[in-house]
Structure 1
Amino acid sequence: PHKFYILIGYAGGYATEFMGKKVIFKETECAATGDNHCRFVGKTVEEWGEEIRPELALYEEQTLADELDVAYTRIERQTEILKQGYRLSQKLTQIVLQGKGLDAVAKVLGETLQCKVNIVDSAYQRLAAYGEFETVEALTESLTNKEKDIFKRLHEERCTVEIGNRLITPVVLRNRVSGFVSITKEKGVFGDLETVSLERTATVCAIQMLNEQTAIETEQRSKGELLDELLLEEIDTAQITRRMAYYGYGMNTAYHVFMFQLDKSCEEMQGEEAIDLRKKIITHLSEDLERAGFKALVSARIDRVYALVPEKFFEIKKQKVKEYGRLIIDSSSEVSQQTKVILGISSLCTDLTRFARGYQEAQKAIEIAGVKWKEQRVILASELGHLGILLNARNPEELESFARNKLGILYDYDQKNDSELLKTLYFYIENEFNLHKTAREMNVSISGMRYRLRRIQEVSEIDLNLSSTRFEVQLAIEIFVVMGLLMI
């Protein structure tokens, strides 16, 4: 700051007059650059030696002609910087227009400034480089405390910083730090040209990244629309077949429908955390499929992500379907610990007309999991057993009629008296008609449980000692759960 130069001047003048020798003060530590406090050191010219020579000119009186020469020289230097910066901008603009990528950007910057260039993403993974370069991670491990404070400013203030022999600036895209561009010089110091050129390059990198993201998002949107059409009840088979062939999707293999359900409110689903979570799931799934030689067919909504995953993919991975599903769920939890993700997986879909049913199976598997298996995060439609038959029944009204005929009197009794007889019966069946297990799970005393079971038999006139009656009661109560009439 300007006031520090005034202080240096006052201190130097006073000490010079007092000692009878020319004394010059110099700032060696500064709070503005991350030091704990500002520190000044004063020495005579002889004691400073060569270290002070560049600054001696500032203490010499200059004529008006000398000052004009200095100003002219400065203007010439700034003009040259502007010319070089303009030429670099033209080259970088051509790279973007021609779609050459970040490697070309790094090469042009490195050749222009005669230095090493490194471009990394926000996770410090190298995207492009010019010359041999240590990683940003290796740099951060060797930083001093002062340099770590400077590096912290790079993230918080999004400004260009100098650390050692490296100049680094962030790449800001959509108001988020998406990467970093850095240059290294073996000798000399960084000037205005390097700073201006580096910041201009960061802007070009942001544009290039935006172009690449837009292209990927456009392709994913187009594929998502294809997937949405596949999941319709009625589809144009011939048209869909042509479009799938165009995108490179094989029709000679069976697919599973994967549905990832994000358990949060609609408002929370629109936040950055939810966006990152959906992106993580899509990226993980897409990259795995493409590495195995398959084209990814993935789509997303506010609260869910769904995809078609070929059966052959699991043969190549040598993994079971449910095991792979857990792997993706675990990976997604790294992004968000707050949002619960549940994965429903359909049975195999062997032709185009089966995808709509597979989608419904995956969706129903998630719904049932929320009621019966709350701790499970990956559910196969094949695990639903007789519930799957209930879910796919053509006449749900008949199912509900059957359930009400069998247990309707208990349902009505609970509604009228605000009791839990039907719920008690559900847990009693789930615990294999074991009185003590049911009492523990419902947190009810043994005597209280005996009373409830006696009341159930009195109200419904059901004899649970008969095996045929037990099966019918279990079927009826499952229908109540599936229909959403009984909340567990």
Structure 2
Amino acid sequence: MQKKNDLYKKKYELYNSLFTENSIDGILNIGENFLGNAIFILDTSYHIIARSNLAKLDNSSIETHNGKSYLLLNIIQLMKKNKCIDNIYNSDNAFFYNSDEVLIFCSIRINNITVGYISVLQSKREFNAEDLELTNVLSKVFSIQLQKENLFISNSGLDEEYYLTDLLINRIDNIEYLTERLKYINFNLYENLIILSIPFKQKYNDYRDNYGLKELIRHLKNILRNCISTYYKDTIIFLISNEHKEVINDSLKETLLEFLKLNNLRCGISIVFESLLDIEDFFNQSIYALELSSCMKIDNNINYFEDYIEYYLFNMAMCTTNDLYQINLLTLVHPWIKKLIKFDAQNKSELFKTLKTYLENNRNANDTSSQLNIHRSTFFYRFNKIQSLLDISLGNNNNLFKLELSFKILDYNTLIKT
């Protein structure tokens, strides 16, 4: 009887900590006093949100990147292999887990969505059955506290969103590490990437309102296919990856456009890029595409930043404050130019030089051939090869303007470096 009373008092103290402590760290300390072992709170990207005092002394399972702490990749691999992650998502209750260490795991849920989990490490004393009950209570207490602190209030309830949010708000310095972590979600990281952003103002009077956001994201993921998403700054954001340079082809664009129209939504799309190191620039490209189209009263559901590059430059030139995000100039170079550079490197050709010389010679074939010291027939072979490779017409003034602007950006970048 006394044992039951003691357990009841501990549970009461845990629930009461919502009022007496009113902080994650305070609740953690009370939980650690009762469980007598190190406690970790993690989100679904294996990022460690908080640690109890004992847990702060144990760094054997932790690695740090950009000031953030994460579980070691080999531990994640082991947890996946042993179905531990599946158990966390599929169970409402705490359970024991035995590997090299003995642990207790329990999901933290908000409206039946797993937003994180508790990990208790058997470090000071052996576990007993009572510890599972206390961990279950601790999970419910953290669910309430996390909502109070709004830590997950913008969360869509999709596992991978923490990865993308991490990419957007934390500076990346290790692509290999990041690529390795992305393997643990259902996302293939191909060579070609874009950011697609959709403004979506959500009212969070009740966390259950998130159901609509969650369903909206799920529908879009079905359309966009290989992507990860997040909800950040009143915007639904997708990182989309594809083997092909045309990340959003005509068929996909048609389906996306229909969905956006039906739901009265607009999206901004960045230029195609390859390196995740530059993701913040390309995210802001998608946002500027939306803002500039609105300013110019262009009522498109789909807005490509590549159509607004010059207007972005005009906008920055006219800005009288320093509060606008300045995109790295080299990320404004059109994908067509990048494609030519890559093709030349792989095939030891001179398409980039040929096109640049052609534009510098006022689009005169004779002068271009003479300057390159090649026959006219060789020039026209290269000319047609460029059109075929880029799938564009070099007789289109708008296309030529985009190319010339990119060449000028590259020239300017070279000049300021010398």
Higher relative contact order by CA 8 Å / sep ≥ 6: 1 or 2?
Answer: 2
TM-score, shorter chain, exceeding 0.5: no
In the superposition, the TM-score normalised over structure 1's length comes to 0.36
In the superposition, the TM-score normalised over structure 2's length comes to 0.41
Structure index of larger Rg:
1
